[in-house]
Amino acid sequence: MANAILTEIKKQPLSFTLPTVGAAGAFAGLFIGTAQGSGLLGIVVGALLLAGLAYVAMEVLGHEKERMFKYGIIALFLVAGYLAGGVPGLVVGGLFGWFFSFFIYWIGEGRYRAKLAPYLTAGQVLWHYSFLVIAGSIFVFLITPILVVMPLSFNAENFFTFTPEMLRFDPEGYSLRHYRNFFTSNEWQSALRNSLMIAPAATILSVSFGTLAAIGLSQPHVPFRRAIMAILISPMIVPLIISAAGMYFFYSRIGLQGTYLGVVLAHAALGIPFVIITVTATLVGFDRSLTRAAANMGANPVTTFFRVQMPLILPGVISGGLFAFITSFDEVVVVLFVGSAKQQTLPWQMFIGLREQISPTILAVATILVGVSICLLTVVELLRRRSERLRGMSPG
């Protein structure tokens, strides 16, 4: 049945193919031309070049010689990229050649409508792909700073920019010196130890209190539960600087200012909202007849919680704990207010490295933290899918 709704693929007229491919070429030419010093020239050359290639592909070579055309386009862009920018240009040219060799036939042969419903109008098809382009552009905009930091962490020099050796892919321009400095420096290792002491403790408190609060607030008979929920998740809404200042004045009066306990409690307060939200979402599909059945069998509330309820909501609890851990491990504003030099965490050390000595070791630490965050978020996604399967919200 799925194949029955596919649109029949047919060759598109040149009046549609050439302007569409040319517009894509102009867009790519804008960036290349700007890098070479003339954005307008890049637009004109890109539009004419891609429109001409589309004409050759559709009218001269046709579908029968598609493979030969694709190899030729990739080779052409590889050579042009190498002549324009050396090895980096070779890589970029290869990527552009691969994309446009696919794009020309994708448009010209009408393959862009292959998996769309046949009743969609031209405007609806345009919006469908425009939405994908917009979403992809936002993703690239968000991910680009991370992708830039990672190769810079292997810079052989003490610079925060790409050196000529790095741009030429010269092995001499790359080094692990900043990573070695991180693992051998007493200051960085002390900050890492503090983070590994504070974050797990704050996570345990966040998971304990947040899970109990979520279970309690999920009961319909609890009075003012919406107001209580709003208060408990307020640390996510209130600007962090205001929360940090309030904690500073409060902790200084009760003697927790500048102590490990104070920092742990502050980070736990920031992590509890994440646990409450994830556990509450897990409890939405929870079958409460299971707890009533356990009570009828003589199980007390504690036994019911650990033997019946906890196994089913465990994915949500772990997900909330991971979010709480990341929040504590990456937090710097609150620890600057409520901590002291003895509680200097890894983000605090990174802040000092930016403010005082501009240490490129920050780039290595940032890359490590990105890798850790990716691993943790992958675990969160796997747990989310497992939770949905347990609740019957998705196929096994």
What amino acid is encoded at 27 in this protein?
F
Q: Is the pLDDT of residue 248 over 70?
A: yes
- Per residue in 54-82, pLDDT (tens digit) is 888 888 887 778 888 888 888 988 888 88
Cα distance between residue 345 and residue 325, in whole Å: 14
What secondary structure letter does DSSP report for 57?
I
Counting every residue, how long is the chain?
A: 396
Backbone angles phi, psi at 106, to 5 degrees: -60, -40
21: number of Cβ within 10 Å: 26
Q: Which of 365, 364, 360 is nearest to 348 (CA)?
A: 365
pLDDT of residue 3: 44
Tell me the pLDDT band of 45, cut-offs 50, 70 and 90.
confident
- Mean pLDDT computed over 245-261: 88
Cα distance between residue 176 and residue 159, in whole Å: 14
- Mean pLDDT computed over 164-184: 83
Q: Is the pLDDT of residue 106 over 80?
A: yes
Is 235 within 8 Å of 265 (Cβ atoms)?
no
Q: Which of 78-92, 179-193, 278-292 has the highest mean pLDDT?
A: 179-193
Q: Is the pLDDT of residue 147 over 60?
A: yes
Tell me the pLDDT band of 264, cut-offs 50, 70 and 90.
very high
Tell me the pLDDT band of 221, cut-offs 50, 70 and 90.
confident
- CA dihedral of 319, 321, 322, 328, whole degrees rounded to 10: 150
291: number of Cβ within 10 Å: 16
Q: Which of 27-36, 269-278, 347-356 has the highest mean pLDDT?
A: 269-278
> How high does pLDDT run on average in the chain?
83
Cα distance between residue 313 and residue 391, in whole Å: 9
Structure-model confidence comparison of residues 3 and 83, the more confident one? 83
Q: In the 3-class helix/strand/coil scheme, how is 338-358 assigned residue by residue? A: HCCHHHCCHHHHHHHHHHHHC
- Residue ranges of alpha helices (H) inside 218-300 are 225-232, 234-237, 240-254, 260-283, 289-296
Cα–Cα separations (whole angstroms), residue 37 to 31, 86, 246: 10, 17, 52
Q: Is the pLDDT of residue 89 over 60?
A: yes
Structure-model confidence comparison of residues 26 and 6, the more confident one? 26
Q: Which of 68, 4, 80 is nearest to 36 (CA)?
A: 80
What secondary structure letter does DSSP report for 60?
I
Backbone angles phi, psi at 174, to 5 degrees: -115, 145
For the chain, give the percent of residues with pLDDT over 90.
8
Residue 131 in tokens: 């939405």
pLDDT of residue 387: 65
Instruction: Output the pTM of the full model.
Output: 0.69
Residue 289 in tokens: 């007849």
- Mean pLDDT computed over 137-149: 84
Is 229 within 8 Å of 210 (Cβ atoms)?
no
Q: Is the pLDDT of residue 38 over 80?
A: no
- Per residue in 193-218, pLDDT (tens digit) is 999 999 999 999 999 999 988 888 88
Cα distance between residue 139 and residue 351, in whole Å: 26
Tell me the pLDDT band of 306, cut-offs 50, 70 and 90.
confident
Backbone angles phi, psi at 155, to 5 degrees: -65, 130
pLDDT of residue 270: 92
Name 328's Cβ contacts closer than 8 Å, sequence gap at least 6.
198, 199, 202, 203, 206, 267, 268, 270, 271
